[in-house]
Structure 1
Amino acid sequence: MGTIARDKREIRLYYHSGTSLGKQTYAYVKASEREIRAIDLAKTHIPGTQWAELASGLDKKIADLVNTEHPSFVEAYGSQNPSLDEHDWLRVLEKHPETLAHPIIVMGSNTHSINSPSDFLEYMKIDSRGQSKT
């Protein structure tokens, strides 16, 4: 059992309000007709277990969640690919949540990385029975 509450009627958005992608994605999600639980990483600490669960839901490594070109990352770890293990990558996200590469949405059992705000619309398309895809 995971640590993230999952409800098919709710959209859980993990984003950082200090990034333009985060702000734009939040606006798209807020405009949807579903219940929203927005987790702004600028204000809310996310424990390592949740980061690990999000990465697993995306079928990615924790390192894949980090934007290694973000100025905070470069300042702390350099511009070369640092040799970090999984726990080190968790610490990066815990100490520098602004380095999250892309907002993440959780809708029921589905987890999606949002590379552009319009990606969210793809996940909200309605099928022929009037039910959302996810």
Structure 2
Amino acid sequence: MNKIYYSSKSSIGKKTLAYLKASHKDLLDIDITKTKITGTQWKEIAQNLDVTIDNLVDKKSFDFTAYKDSNVELSETDWIKVLNSSPEVLTYPIVILSDVFYQIHNSSEIEKLLEPNSKGIDEKRYI
């Protein structure tokens, strides 16, 4: 089962989802603005992407004013709380294709990752 973790508030997330749906592959789409992701799931995602959880957060769009000191170092648990309380700060949608994890930086990247969906097409008929 292929998966996408995305924010429906993100244009790149919505476009990537559209590409995936158009591919007609089995897909579980998880809109993190509607579905909370557990800390364990965030850790697994980060681990499979070979990044730390804070690298999943767009720090430019994250409002640090909730913290007294802007130089504060947030723990892994803090970053998970940030993602769950403000899911729109997810940097890029995360796609899992055949158990391989990808952060999609540009929605057109997904095209390169998807196999052509020509199953069931009679090639001779269209020549």
Q: TM tier, shorter chain?
A: 0.7 to 0.9
Query: Relative to 1, partners in 2 of residues 1:104 and 1:28: Cα closer, same or farther, differing over 3 Å?
Result: same
Structure 1 residue ranges without an equivalent (≥5): 1-9
1:120 matched to 2:120? The reply is: no
Find runs of 4+ consecutive structure 1 residues off by over 3 angstroms: 72-78
- Counterpart AA for 1:50: Q
Distance 2:101 2:76 in 1: 20
Quick check: which has more Rg, 1 or 2? 2
Structure 2 residue ranges without an equivalent (≥5): 120-127
The 3-state SS of whatever aligns with 1:17 is: coil
Query: Relative to 1, partners in 2 of residues 1:24 and 1:81: Cα closer, same or farther, differing over 3 Å?
Result: farther
Q: Which residue of 1 aligns with 2:80?
A: 90
Of 14, 30, 34, the match for 2:21? 30
Of 85, 101, 104, the match for 2:94? 104
Deviations 1:82-123 (A, max 9, x none): 411111111111111111000001122200000010111121
Equivalent pairs, count: 117
What TM-score do you get using the length of structure 1 for normalisation?
0.78
Of 51, 54, 69, the match for 1:63? 54
Q: Which residue of 2 aligns with 1:21?
A: 12
User: What's the C-alpha RMSD, in Å, of the aligned pairs?
Assistant: 2.1
What TM-score do you get using the length of structure 2 for normalisation?
0.82
Distance 2:88 2:6 in 1: 9
